[in-house]
Structure 1
Amino acid sequence: MPVESTEQTQEELILGFLSESGSDYTSGEALSGKLGLSRAALWKRMEALRTQGYRIEAVPSRGYRLVSVPDRLTSLEVSPLLSTRELGRAIHHHDSVGSTNEVAFRLAQDGAEHGEVVVAEQQTAGKGRRGRVWVSPPGLNLYFSAILRPELPPQRAPELTLVAAVALAETLRDWGTDAAIKWPNDVHLDGLKVAGILTELSAEPERVHFVVVGVGVNLNSRTEHFPEELRSMATSLSLATGKPVPRARFAAALWTRLEEWLDRYLEDGFDAVRARWKALSSTLGQDVLVRTDRQELRGVAEDIDPSGALLVRTVGGSLERVLAGDVEQLRPRKPRAG
């Protein structure tokens, strides 16, 4: 795990203390005592934070108050908001990368620990399923990849995509939406794609070495940020709610929810995840057209099986098990409540 500088750790602690105080002032004496810093050293740290875009008010005899924070996704912004044990406790932040999944995969190969996260303000070659590109404009949305080291056989690794989808849909619902999951890895708002998940792994026949779960969520994109051919198919959380989304707060909420579901999954198995996924699904019960590498299937999406595969009752009456493919929902409906 990367070792952070003492200065950055102190800055994170300062932001944490100021965030806890809300609109109240925190005395310089109290901060100095908690951090073991002289008043002069504390002032120096405050000035360093101001140069990074933090508005910190200082009033004699009252202390310091955090007025506003920059809309970034470094550990300085996210860490004070986190309540996880491991996930996101080490953040590798980049202004721009080709793909966060590629960076995370290399880090995992070099020994990065469970829970480390790669997050980028922009991706220049964001990866979607089946070789597609995920459009990733700078400074608007959330693009991250989490490194996981679960004790799982490789054949169960695809279940982690559904774990992530449940956590993501629930987090979006916490923002007042009716987010629904489209099998296997997309999350929609009002029938429009708002997020996608790409899971990649390194394994040998008997065990998983690591899994990289990549997530892209459109948080503050406006219509003009989408390519013209996607404008009728994509949306963002801010477009759906009419409000700007604080990205660090969303990231912290999502990582907290994801860790909770990972813990439940690893302790109790896939059944609870499967049940919640079904409750949040926009695919089940739909007339669908499924395109795989080998064939096209038309029928009704009846269920997901205990491994997460989609079960489709074809027009001919057979029940087909789909492990991977593209699903077109032929009769849109409102997502299930729950």
Structure 2
Amino acid sequence: MSKDNRKRIIEMLSNSGEEFISGESISKELGISRAAVWKHINYLKENGYEIEAINKKGYRIVDVNSDVIIPEQITVNLDTKFVGQNIRYFHELDSTNNYAKEKFEELEDGSLVISESQTAGKGRLGKNWQSNPGEGIWMSTVLKPDIPVYKAPFLTLVAGAAILNAFRNLGVDAKIKWPNDIVLNGKKICGILTEMVAEVEKVGCVVIGMGINVNTMLFPGELSEKATSLKKEGFEVKKSDIIREIMHEFEKLYIPYIEYGSRDEIIGVCRKHSVLIGKDVYVIKKEHREKVYCMDISDDGNLIVKHVDGEIEEIISGEVSVRGQNGYI
């Protein structure tokens, strides 16, 4: 079945509101048979759409299961030039980042890899990431920017600012814990993992993985102290809306950065919504743990801290972790 036809059907039914659209009208508009229309409608029903069908009236959308990700539902109203327009969707992968890196040569710039679950999801510094089916959004964006290698790490902050803007557009008052954690009510709701495939001094591709806890209610062990989900915090937001909004906001920040080196808006968002600036925190590198005062985020995206002896330093994310005085933040 053609994904383009399915996307058009979703668009037609969505735009019709409570009005019915006949199978005949759909078949004429798309140039396909009534039987093909019926197959597309059944597919949508099986994948989360509640569609009412009445003889001699046609079809209309009654509701959409917010827990289900349907690629065509994401792209139908996605107003980007290329980011998120091509989606590879899976029920299970070891890791969306791994798949994206392995297949990047055949994937178009801006492609999105989504999986309902990951068997080997990973976070920054090699940490495991819980990725159970139905509980969250596990996705990776494949980017092929014509930039030198040293400019690629900043894309983590581009993603962070985009996710913050997207959440706020959806009514979620999120914050950022430099460099790659999105926080809600003091607990982690989303992690960003940026990885790169490079050739000498040129970027082959950058893969930005995003793991978002949407419906998770139980977090094992120490995770319960530092992680939460949208649902646990009282927010009911459709996964497709979250993904679409993030792709939209990401492209708005990404293109100016790649083409002109524009960083002011990105840094401004990360500064404004930082949970670290103005606090004493611990900077951890391997076994070394040091208490510092977090002053600011630099124009290059580094964390500016003051040591106990008064020395001021810019910290590059790299292999460094940051923790609050009494726990996660």
TM-score (norm 2): 0.91
User: Post-superposition shift, 1:117?
Assistant: 1.0
Pick the aligned partner of 1:291 from 277, 281, 284: 284
User: Post-superposition shift, 1:247?
Assistant: 1.1
CA contact 1:286–1:331 (8 Å) conserved in 2: no
Pick the aligned partner of 1:260 from 228, 242, 252: 252
CA contact 2:47–2:68 (8 Å) conserved in 1: no
Q: CA RMSD of the aligned region, Å?
A: 2.1
Partner of 1:239: helix, strand, or coil? coil
- In the alignment, the residues of structure 2 paired with residue 230 and residue 40 of structure 1 have an alpha-carbon distance, to the nearest angstrom, of 49
Equivalence for 2:189: 194
**Match status 1:237 vs 2:230:** yes
Equivalence for 2:321: 326
CA contact 1:180–1:281 (8 Å) conserved in 2: yes
What are the equivalent positions in structure 2 for 1:205-244 lying under 5 Å apart? 205-222=200-217, 224=218, 226-240=219-233, 242-244=234-236
Describe the shift of the 1:227–1:155 C-alpha distance in structure 2 as closer, same or farther (beyond 3 A): same
Q: Which structure: greater helix fraction?
A: 1
**Match status 1:174 vs 2:163:** no
Equivalence for 2:76: 80
Equivalence for 1:102: 98
Letter in 2 for 1:204: E
User: Post-superposition shift, 1:100?
Assistant: 0.8
What stretches of structure 2 of length at least 5 have no aligned partner? none
Equivalence for 1:278: 271
Equivalence for 1:3: none
Partner of 1:45: helix, strand, or coil? helix
User: Post-superposition shift, 1:82?
Assistant: 2.2
Letter in 2 for 1:89: Q
CA contact 1:19–1:80 (8 Å) conserved in 2: no
Q: 1:200-245 deviations in whole A, cap 9, x for unaligned?
A: 00123432111000000111111x2x112211211111122x2433
TM-score (norm 1): 0.89
Describe the shift of the 1:236–1:316 C-alpha distance in structure 2 as closer, same or farther (beyond 3 A): same
User: Post-superposition shift, 1:63?
Assistant: 2.5
Equivalence for 1:247: 239
User: Post-superposition shift, 1:316?
Assistant: 0.4
- In the alignment, the residues of structure 2 paired with residue 103 and residue 190 of structure 1 have an alpha-carbon distance, to the nearest angstrom, of 32
Letter in 2 for 1:156: K
What stretches of structure 1 of length at least 5 have no aligned partner? 1-5
Describe the shift of the 1:51–1:232 C-alpha distance in structure 2 as closer, same or farther (beyond 3 A): closer
Count matched residues.
324
Letter in 1 for 2:37: L
CA contact 1:182–1:283 (8 Å) conserved in 2: yes
What are the equivalent positions in structure 2 for 1:306-317 lying under 5 Å apart? 306-317=299-310
**Match status 1:12 vs 2:4:** no
CA contact 1:120–1:143 (8 Å) conserved in 2: yes
CA contact 2:47–2:70 (8 Å) conserved in 1: no
